[in-house]
């Protein structure tokens, strides 16, 4: 099974992380990707002092081979020339990544 979680609001990060962890408890073999766009990318910046998400929780997901992507369009709009948390991958456009993953058979979840 392949599942894509989409987050575009900073306050939704804790819910997304809980959803992913609960999903993994039920099915540890599933392939999961998280795509962040809009304001949610702010919490994936390396130099962010006021995160809506626990950095340790993000790192634990990355260590569990959860792919976390940040929309470059959103990054360029709000904070060009910034670095992402180690392990977070930039993608050209969050909506394009979502569309590609859905065409590859990923189920789409937006908490």
Q: What is the pLDDT of residues 6-41, one digit of tens each?
A: 999 999 999 999 999 999 999 999 999 999 999 999
User: How far is it, in rounded angstroms, from Cα 99 to Cα 91?
Assistant: 12
What's the pTM?
Answer: 0.94
pLDDT digits (tens, 9 = 90+) for 49-71: 677 788 899 999 999 999 999 99
Q: 2-7 and 107-109 as β-strands: parallel, antiparallel, unpaired?
A: parallel
Numbers of helices and strands, H then E, in the chain: 4, 5
Phi, psi of 63, rounded to the nearest 5 degrees = -65, -25
Would you say 73 and 79 are in contact if contact means Cβ atoms under 8 Å apart?
no
Angle 72-75-78 from CA coordinates, rounded to 5°: 150
Q: Is 21 left (phi over 0), alpha (psi -120 to 50) or beta?
A: alpha
């Amino acid at each position: 099974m392949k599942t894509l979680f989409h987050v575009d609001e900073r306050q939704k990060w804790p819910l997304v992380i809980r959803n992913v962890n609960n999903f993994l408890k039920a099915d540890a073999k599933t392939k999961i990707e998280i795509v962040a766009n809009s304001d949610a990318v702010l919490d994936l910046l390396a130099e962010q002092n006021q995160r809506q998400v626990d950095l340790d929780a993000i790192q634990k997901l990355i260590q569990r081979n959860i792919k976390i992507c940040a929309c470059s369009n959103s990054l360029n709009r709000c904070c060009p020339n910034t670095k992402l948390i180690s392990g977070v991958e930039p993608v050209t456009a969050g909506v394009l990544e979502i569309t590609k993953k859905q065409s590859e058979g990923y189920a789409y979840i937006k908490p």
